[in-house]
């Protein structure tokens, strides 16, 4: 393997994780079919297709500006693709509104956080429960049921924030705010979890915990996880499959081992000729 690839952290760490190999025989949980997104004269995503099997971890990677967040925004319905379709568990959701996606079991986190800074960790997660509670957000904050409170505490514990349960969100560092966003997304009891750079700002120890948590969510809870991530150590360790984008197009797809030795991927990250050095 190319030494530069090792430097970039693109080496596969878990070649035995080949759950993605089941893809061909099962109906995909998420089916992105030939989506194109244009912003004026710029084609941010060009005829992109990929499929994600239920209960697997799938990563979307690529250099800056490759079109990853735009793709995410299409799947969570914040952007409308110019062409193509998005099919979730066999249902075409290409025309669904963003708020309808939560009801269909899709939760997401954002590259730039969207938390209630003045509210505590506990309150932020509690508010994440409102889509599956008959009570409105204000009523929920005032008088959550014992069951809801237990759920919130278990989620806070699961992401490792128990010691900060009553800390106001804006006082957490960026990495821990991202974990809080993850807990809040889990409060929706999602079937599909879309994570935009979940490891950004996390220290190595926290990245290891996140690695275990995401693997557990997929393999134990059956949640389908799609993540955009630049921390290759995490991507290579937890992903069943990886889709690589560059300049809006898919340039490679495969297991971490396949991606780690793919010459187009090496070139996209490190420049032409790097694969042969």
Q: Is 112 in the site for ligand ATP (CB under 6 A)?
A: no
**Judged by CB under 6 A, does residue 202 bind ligand ATP?**
no
**Minimum distance from CB of 248 to ligand ATP (Å)?**
7
Residues 6+ apart with CB under 8 A from 156: 121, 122, 125, 162, 165, 183
Query: Does 137 engage in binding with ligand ATP (CB under 6 A)?
Result: no
| By CB under 6 A, residue 127 contacts ligand ATP | no
Among 10, 12, 35, 44, binds ligand ATP (CB under 6 A): 44
Q: Is 68 in the site for ligand ATP (CB under 6 A)?
A: yes
Q: Which is nearer to ligand ATP, 17 or 68 (CB)?
A: 68
Nearer to ligand ATP, 124 or 243 (CB): 243
67 part of the interface to ligand ATP, by CB under 6 A: yes
Rounded alpha-carbon distances, angstroms, from residue 143 to 14, 65, 162: 45, 44, 21
Determine, following the binding rule CB under 6 A, whether residue 62 of this chain makes contact with ligand ATP.
yes
Candidates 11-19, 64-72, 95-103, 162-170; binding stretch for ligand ATP (CB under 6 A): 64-72
Q: Which is nearer to ligand ATP, 80 or 154 (CB)?
A: 80
When asked if residue 109 is in the footprint of ligand ATP (CB under 6 A), the reply is: no
CA distances from 75 to 6, 10, 83, 116 (A): 32, 26, 13, 24
Selected binder of ligand ATP within 30, 66, 199, 235 (CB under 6 A): 66
Q: Return the H-helix or E-strand segment holding 70.
A: helix 68-75
Cβ atoms 8, 236 nearer than 8 A: no
Is 77 a binding residue for ligand ATP by CB under 6 A? The answer is: no
Conformational region of residue 220, where left means phi above 0, alpha means psi within -120 to 50, and beta covers everything else? alpha
Q: What is the edge-to-edge ordering of all strands in the sheet holding 106-108?
A: 106-108, 192-196, 224-228, 57-61, 241-246, 249-254
Q: How far is the CB of 13 from ligand ATP (least distance, A)?
A: 22
> Of all helices (H) and strands (E), which one includes residue 267?
helix 263-270
Q: Which residues are at the interface with ligand ATP (CB under 6 A)?
A: 39, 42, 44, 62, 64-70
């Amino acid at each position: 393997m190319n030494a530069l690839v090792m430097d970039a952290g693109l080496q596969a760490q878990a070649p035995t994780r080949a759950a993605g190999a089941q893809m061909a025989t099962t109906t995909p949980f998420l089916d992105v079919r030939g989506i194109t997104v244009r912003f004026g004269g710029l084609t941010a995503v060009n005829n992109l297709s990929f499929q994600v099997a239920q209960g697997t971890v799938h990563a979307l990677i690529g250099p800056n500006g490759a079109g990853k967040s735009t793709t995410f925004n299409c799947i969570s319905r914040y952007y409308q693709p110019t062409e193509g379709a998005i099919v979730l568990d066999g249902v075409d959701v290409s025309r669904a509104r963003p708020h309808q996606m939560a009801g269909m079991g899709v939760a997401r986190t954002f590259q730039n956080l969207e938390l209630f800074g003045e509210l505590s960790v506990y309150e932020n997660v509690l508010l994440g429960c409102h889509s599956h509670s008959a009570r409105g957000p204000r009523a929920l904050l005032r008088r959550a049921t014992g069951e809801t409170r237990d759920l919130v505490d278990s989620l806070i514990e699961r992401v490792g924030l128990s010691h900060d349960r009553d800390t106001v969100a804006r006082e957490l560092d960026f990495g821990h705010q991202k974990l809080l966003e993850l807990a809040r997304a889990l409060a929706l009891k999602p079937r599909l979890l879309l994570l935009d750079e979940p490891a950004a700002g996390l220290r190595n120890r926290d990245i290891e915990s996140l690695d275990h948590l995401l693997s557990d969510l997929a393999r134990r809870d059956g949640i389908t996880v799609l993540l955009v991530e630049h921390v290759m150590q995490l991507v290579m360790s937890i992903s069943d499959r990886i889709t690589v984008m560059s300049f809006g197009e898919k340039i490679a797809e495969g297991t971490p081992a396949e991606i780690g030795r793919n010459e187009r991927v090496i070139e996209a990250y490190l420049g032409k000729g790097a694969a042969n050095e």
